[in-house]
Amino acid sequence: MTSDPVDLNERRELTSRKSVRLRHSLRELQAERESLRESQDELENLLVDTPSTAFADTAARAGYLLGLFAETAEAQHPRRQVLIDQVRTDLQRICDETDDKP
Would 61 be classed as within a structural domain? Answer: yes
Q: Which of 6-15, 27-36, 49-58, 74-83 has the weakest average pLDDT?
A: 6-15
Q: Is residue 101 very low, low, confident or very high in pLDDT (cuts 50, 70, 90)?
A: low
The total domain count for the chain is 2
Tell me, yes or no, whether 58 and 86 share the same domain: yes
Domain encompassing residue 15: 10-50
Tell me, yes or no, whether 39 and 81 share the same domain: no
For the question of whether the overall pTM of this predicted structure is more than 0.75, the answer is no
Q: 14-49 and 55-70 helices cross at what angle (nearest 10)?
A: 140
pLDDT at 9: 64
Would 15 be classed as within a structural domain? Answer: yes
Tell me, yes or no, whether 96 and 66 share the same domain: yes
Tell me, yes or no, whether 27 and 63 share the same domain: no
Q: Which residue has the higher pLDDT, 7 or 29?
A: 29
Q: Show the DSSP H helices in 50-77 as ranges.
A: 55-70
- Is residue 84's pLDDT more than 70? yes
- Is residue 102's pLDDT more than 80? no
Tell me, yes or no, whether 46 and 61 share the same domain: no
